[in-house]
Structures are given as structure tokens and as C-alpha cells.
Chains A and B, each alone.
Chain A
Amino acid sequence: MTSMEEVIMKYGYYPGCSQTGSAKEYDISLRKVIEKLGASFDEINDWSCCGATSAHVTNHKLSSALAMRNIMLAGQQGLENMVAPCAACYNRLVTSQYEISKHPELREETEELLSAKFQKEINVINILELFLKIGINKIIENRKRELSELKVACYYGCLLVRPAAITKFDDAEQPVSMEKIVESTGAKTVDWNYKVECCGAAHSIARRDIVVDLSKKILEDARSHGANVIAVACPMCHTNLDMRQRAMKRTYPGHEELPVLYLTELIGLALGMNEHELGIDLHYINYKYTDPVPDNTVA
């Protein structure tokens, strides 16, 4: 028999495709951090792609069915909640579930496509909600060091907080929850303007020019507000802000690199893990956290 504590700390887990490839380090760091904080994951069996941007921009029924397939799997697995660490997956999943609960005709069509009935609503949560649920205090309690050298620009991107009516999470224009989590690592956060501006998202490959421009603006706004690192909670944001800095250097000669870390990596650093364990060395922009030199002058 499981204790109350364990029940609460167990979460359904929907990794999302990126987590198995380009965002491997997000998956690695998330799992390690969760374990350190005493929570655990129950991965959705045989989960599939949520459909992502490509499905919803081309076929609304396909999009609904691909996302709902996973929600239904979670239900069959007896899960109440499900963490989707990728902001884009999270958004597809909550939106699809919201829409079929609002529109019976779409629900019918989707059920027909999946040859199954939608029976149980799953509480899909994003990465920020996960840490708020686990508790900021847990991070502080388990902290091995304070990341006092960091001035973090928390980047929410588009899909964590929008649309407010569906996500019902934080504030769509001036969110603050990531700041609360980041500050629990001992890092400082900066107030900046581009925390919910879009990085270009799915245009990363087909219209890299757009992504480079938009991401450059985001990086520069963070820098001009005093940030020395950007925290993200979405593999797409990370790809565009981190990896695209290579192309940025060509388009914007003289571009200075700015490290971009997953929120989970920041927490991992505070919990005492090193860059390699957390997969930070897989980033395009190399990053190593250096503790401040102890001030001996007082002694």
C-alpha cells in the first residue's frame, strides 16, 4: 500500500518527441531533478506525438485525434494528472481536451477517429505547475548551493500561459510563476519585456530567417535588462534561442553568446548536480556555473 505522500508525488508523464532527441537534456535533467525532490513519474505507455503545430495548422480533426489519443491513454492507465514538460505539447493537449469538452460535434468526430470513447478528463499540467505543486520549499530544502551569480531572464514563450481561458494558469501577459521557481535556486531574476514574445517556434527549419530575427530580439532584450542566462521551459524555445545563435552570428555579426538553460537544469545545478549530469554540455552555447569566489576580505 502506498502512503499518502507517494500518491501525491506521483505524476503521469508525457515526454513529447523532442525529449527523445533534440531536447534529450531536458528529459534527463527533469527526471533527475524530480527524483531528487522525491517525486516520481509514470510515463504514458506507448505515447505518440501530440500532432504539434503541423497537425493543427493543416487539419483540425487530425490534430484533435493525435492529442486526444494520449489523453485517453493516460486515462486508461488510471492517471489523474499528466505532466507535459514541452510547452507546445502542453498547449496542444490542454487545448484539444478543452475543445472536445466544449464542442460535442468535435468530440464525436474525434472519438470516431480513435475508435474509442473519451471517458476521463486528465489534469494536464505544465512544467511550472509541476514545480509549484511539488513545492518551492522542496527545492529550497534540498538546495546544495545558491546560484547567486545568476541573473535569469525567465522566458515563458507563447504556449505556457496562452490562451488564458484554456490554460487558466498564471497571467497571460505578465506571468510570474517561473520567477518564483527560479528564485528558489538562489538565483536572481530580471524584469524584462520579452518574456511572452514568440521565438518563431515551428518556423525553425522552414523559415530560419524569421526565427533568427525574433530570437535575436529576445536575447538582446534579456541582455539589456541585465540577464546573464535565459531560462526556458520548452524544447522549441530552446532550439531557437540556443542553437540558432550559430546562424545569428552570421546574420548579426558581432553577436555575443548568451547561455540558454532549461528550468530543470537550473534547479539541478542548485540541487548539486553538475553540468554533465544535467546534459548542459549538449547545448550549442557551452555553459558552466562558477560559484562566487568567497569574499575573504572581511575575515
Chain B
Amino acid sequence: MSANDLKATKKLQASFISPTPQTGPDQDHINSTEHIREHTIADEISERTFQDVSLCYQCGKCSAGCPVRYYMDIAPNKVVRLIQLGFYEDALKSDTPWLCAGCLTCSTRCPKEFDLAKFMDAVREIAIEKGVEIKQKNIIKFHKAFLDQIKSHGRAYEVGLVAEYKMKTMDLFQDVDSAPGMYFKGKLGLLPHNIKDRKGVKSIFKKTSGK
């Protein structure tokens, strides 16, 4: 997949909307001698999730049963639809994948046995890779803080997690509910549990992030 995919996507969108496309990725292909189909984001998602996005027939059962549906900007089935039609930017910018709680209700009930939760994972992953601006900033910051804990300690250290999350969000007063209570009750240790093979875990992060 090329780095300019999102731009190409925009063009595709334009050609999708306009009745007589003047430009578009297909146009280039017609003029070129190579008749190779573009590797689209839909293809990429299909590959990463081991299932074709065309499986979805838009019945909406996923959205109907989604516990966080009411908080989403667009319905989960619509995210699949946008990908199916090539409106990638709209799909990747949506709140919906980020609000997905990964509860697997949709995947369990899907009449086409399409694993929507896994699809959402791939959409999020690609959105990060493409540097798409995501509105659910706190959720992203939380995941980042969580992974940072694992990266440095090998395990999630909750005190460090909350501290880092607060630093990232600058929301110093949120979670006054739980943390102090937990300190008092002696649940949260003041020191992280470091594993021995921190180097090994770090190297996984290094290899997967490409840094």
C-alpha cells in the first residue's frame, strides 16, 4: 500500500460521486500498459483480517446489538459500507471504530460470520498508520499510555498508566473516584512490577512500530 493512498482515495471518491469521472485512479490505469488493480484500503483490511469486506450485506444486526451504538457518530455497519464503496477517508475519520469496545457482540451474531470487531481493529490500525486525525483523542491517549506501560515494565502498571494518561490529557481531576480509593485500600502498589525480560518486550514494540 502506498503512502499516498488516502489521496488516491479522495480521487476515487470524486469519481464515485461525479457521473462522468474526469480523473481517477482508473483513468491512469486505462492509459498505462499495466492492467494491475490498485491495492486499496479495502483490500488491505481484507488481508489483515483474513476476511473479505464484501461479505457484509448490510443487514445492520451489528449496529442493532452494539452496546456503544448510541455514542457513535455513524453506525458500525455504515463504516463497513464506506469501506466497501471506497469512501475511506470518511470511514477512517469516524469516531465509531474508536468507540467500539471490542465486546464481540456483533461478531458473535453476524449472519454472514463477518468478524466486525476484527474489522474495526484493522480500521483503527490503518487510521493510525495514515496519521488520520481522530476526534476521540482521549481514547487514543489512553491506549498509548497503556502500551507505554507495557513497553517499559512488561506489564501494565496502573498507577503509571493513570499518571501518564493524565499528563497526556491534562485532565488532572478525572478519575479522582478510583485512584485515591485504591491507594487507601492498598490495592495499588507504588512501584511498578517489572518483568525480567523487559528487553525482549521492548524489542517487540520496536519491531512492530518500525522505530
Establish whether residues B175 and A205, one from each chain, have CB atoms under 8 Å apart when the complex forms.
yes
Among candidates A24, A65, A200, residue contacting B204 with C-beta atoms closer than 8 Å: A65
Secondary structure type dominating chain B contacts: helix
Establish whether residues B107 and A163, one from each chain, have CB atoms under 8 Å apart when the complex forms.
yes
Give B contacts to A, CB under 8 Å.
Answer: 48, 50, 67-68, 71, 99-105, 107-108, 115, 120-122, 124-125, 128, 136, 138-139, 141-144, 146-147, 149-150, 154-159, 162, 165, 174-175, 177-178, 181-182, 185-189, 193, 195-197, 200-201, 203-205, 207-209
**Cα–Cα distance between A20 and B182 once the two chains are bound (Å):** 12
Q: Contacts of A3 on B, CB cut-off 8 Å?
A: none
**Cα–Cα distance between A52 and B142 once the two chains are bound (Å):** 12
**Cα–Cα distance between A22 and B158 once the two chains are bound (Å):** 8
Q: B102, B154, B174, B189 — which one has the most chain A CB atoms within 10 A of its CB?
A: B102
Give A contacts to B, CB under 8 Å.
Answer: 17-18, 20-22, 24-25, 46-49, 51-62, 65-66, 69, 91, 99, 102-103, 112-115, 157-159, 162-164, 172-173, 196-198, 200-203, 205-208, 210, 214, 239, 243-244, 246-247, 281-282, 284
Q: Contacts of B207 on A, CB cut-off 8 Å?
A: 112-113
Establish whether residues A66 and B201, one from each chain, have CB atoms under 8 Å apart when the complex forms.
yes
Among candidates A21, A61, A201, A247, residue contacting B101 with C-beta atoms closer than 8 Å: A201
Q: Contacts of A247 on B, CB cut-off 8 Å?
A: 177
Q: B100, B104, B139, B205 — which one has the most chain A CB atoms within 10 A of its CB?
A: B104
Apart from A52-B146, A54-B146, A198-B103, what 8 extra A-B contacts exist at CB < 8 Å? A49-B149, A49-B156, A55-B147, A60-B121, A113-B208, A206-B141, A207-B136, A243-B182
- Known contacts A48-B195, A52-B146, A198-B67: A66-B204 contact under CB 8 Å: yes
Among candidates B177, B197, B209, residue contacting A246 with C-beta atoms closer than 8 Å: B177
